Amino acid sequence: MKLAGSRGKSGDGTAEVALLQRVAGGDRNAFAELYRRLQRPLFGYLMKLVREREMVEDVLNETMMEIWRQAARFEGRSSVNTWVFSIAHHRAVSRLRKKRETALDEEQAAAIEDESPTPDEHAMSGDMSRLIAALMEQLSFEHREILHLAYYQEFSVQEIADALDLPANTVKTRMFYARQRLKALLEKSGVEGMVA
């Protein structure tokens, strides 16, 4: 029985492949066009992982330079999207490690001073969407990443597996535990009846 959970790709990616081929040939206009297509998804992804805007833009810059450098080596084994996100992932991890922030665990993340309302305040106000958003920010790096790739980028299981270099089953179980953790935080915030 196959449980791929991986129907299709995020678009067929033909235009991106063509752009990448032009980038590999040193076409700066193609590079600019590719950046315009990638900037929002990459920026959103990196903001969820790295969080600090200045550092995010540095990592985005590094990712695009790596794409420029490696474009000729893209061999189409995965989609352009997953190849690009793989580079961004490694760059983000590397940057965070340099800042020794990868050890930031959920409790420490929650302790970061933030002027926005706390999850409890959201719970008391009954604003469920804001509460879920606040609690998502308390998740670990890996859990934030998997939720973002599945929910926002709408990557399939296999695309996430390709981008993060993980087995497909690990992608599914990581997502499962990310959601379990989120539900536990919801319950802790006093929200009842959300856990199926």
Partner 1 sequence: MTKASTRAESDVALSDEDILELLPWYAGGKTSAAETAAIERKLQGNAKLQAELQLVRQEKQVSRESVKALGEPDPALLNKMLGQLDSVRQLPPIAREGTEAQPGFLARLLGFVPSPALRFAMAAACLVIVVESAALLKLAGSESEQSYQTASAPAAAAGPELIVHFQPDARLSAITMLLSDLDATVVKGPMPDGAFVIALQKDADANAAMTVLRGHADLVLAVDQGS
71 binds partner 1 (CB under 8 A): yes
DSSP labels for 94-136?
HHHHHTT-TT--HHHHHHS--SSPPHHHHHHHT-HHHHHHHHH
Name which of residues 167 to 196 contact partner 1 (CB under 8 A): 167, 170, 172-173, 175-176, 179, 182-183, 193-194, 196
Pair 155, 149: CB distance under 8 Å: yes
Q: How many residues line the site for partner 1 (CB under 8 A)?
A: 78
As a whole number of angstroms, the distance between CA 96 and CA 55 comes to 9
| Candidate list 15, 112, 128, 184; residue touching partner 1; CB under 8 A | 128
Name which of residues 25 to 44 contact partner 1 (CB under 8 A): 26, 28, 31-32, 35-36, 39-40, 43-44
Q: Which structure tokens are listed for 18?
A: 């063509």
7 binds partner 1 (CB under 8 A): yes
Residue 39 or 118: which CB sits closer to partner 1?
A: 39
Name which of residues 8 to 27 contact partner 1 (CB under 8 A): 8, 24, 26
68 binds partner 1 (CB under 8 A): yes
Nearest distance in Å: CB 94, partner 1: 4
Residue 35 or 140: which CB sits closer to partner 1?
A: 35
For residue 1, the 8-state DSSP code is: -
As a whole number of angstroms, the distance between CA 177 and CA 120 comes to 22
Nearest distance in Å: CB 181, partner 1: 12
110 binds partner 1 (CB under 8 A): no
57 binds partner 1 (CB under 8 A): yes
| Candidate list 15, 17, 18, 61; residue touching partner 1; CB under 8 A | 61
Contacts of 96 by beta carbon, 8 Å cutoff, 6+ apart: 49, 50, 102, 141
| Candidate list 15, 18, 133, 184; residue touching partner 1; CB under 8 A | 133
Contacts of 123 by beta carbon, 8 Å cutoff, 6+ apart: 131, 189, 190, 191
Nearest distance in Å: CB 196, partner 1: 4
Long-range Cβ contacts of 58-63 (<8 Å, 24+ apart): 58/95, 59/88, 59/91, 59/92, 59/95, 60/88, 62/91, 62/95, 63/87, 63/88, 63/91
